[in-house]
Amino acid sequence: MKVKKFKPLGAELTNFVFNNKTTEEELTKLKKIFLQNSVLILRGLDLNAKNLLSIARLWGKPQKHTNFSGIEGYPEIIKIQNYGKKFHTNDHWHSDVTFEEKPPDITFLYALEVPLKGGNTLFSNQYLAYEFLPIKIKNRLEGFRAKHSNIRILKMMGQDSKKEKYASHPIFRIHPETNKKALYVTEAFVEGIEGMGEEESSRILKDLYLESSKTKYRFEHRWIKGDLVMWDNRCVQHYAIHDYGDETRNMYRITINI
């Protein structure tokens, strides 16, 4: 396999195909590349739902989404379609489903159909976001946790607020496999910093959100039909740009826990 690395995160893999002949040695090498680069891109794949689920299972246990139903026969796979910008739920920086006590470790997104222009996805390296925080802020926030909730997505979808979920996570998360610290606050789901006044919490979070999405931490992926992209939710935030009007953009999405 050949690896083309991007900065400040991401790697494209060529001359490699997932199938029933994939060896443990190849998979181990692949996982090492993934942990080093946080985003992995494989192009030109011809996958159906069954194939995608099989690939995901090589990495961990597929998860069902709390708020979205899966496709028929494959409850772990969500089909993401374009219903217009008004109903676009990913047009913001976030890590997936952080309002769960155990958020997904890895997300897989496979391109079924893409617009002729636009529809790119931005990824931001949260290791770097933490690394470049001023030491004064690191010392101030060490040990603090943020409260995450799905209430905003429930309101956007017109769902019952009784389905609301809450979870508490460290603002600085230690990656369980790399042992590196990453900034772990997402504007889409964080309600506030625990044990801190509302005014100070809001001010600090605003600064952290700006830091987490700085251009110098980003990689932008331009989708081509047949792309499979996987990213590490433990140290990456992403943003799906909706700049393609009513054009068709269909994706299969699946998340796993290791």
**How many domains is the chain partitioned into structurally?**
1
Which CATH number do you get for residue 160? 3.60.130.10
pLDDT at 4: 96
Query: Residue 238 pLDDT > 90, yes or no?
Result: yes
Containing structural domain, residue 172: 2-257
**E-assigned strand segments in the chain:** 2-5, 11-14, 39-42, 61-63, 78-80, 106-113, 121-125, 145-149, 166-170, 172-174, 181-183, 190-193, 218-221, 228-232, 236-240, 250-257
Compute the average pLDDT of residues 226-230: 97
% of the chain exceeding 90 in pLDDT: 79
pLDDT at 69: 85
The rounded distance, in Å, linking the Cα atoms of 122 and 93 is: 9
Query: Residue 87 pLDDT > 80, yes or no?
Result: no
The tens digit of pLDDT for each residue in 121-172 reads 999 999 999 999 999 999 999 999 999 998 877 776 666 666 789 999 999 9
The rounded distance, in Å, linking the Cα atoms of 149 and 141 is: 20
pLDDT at 57: 94
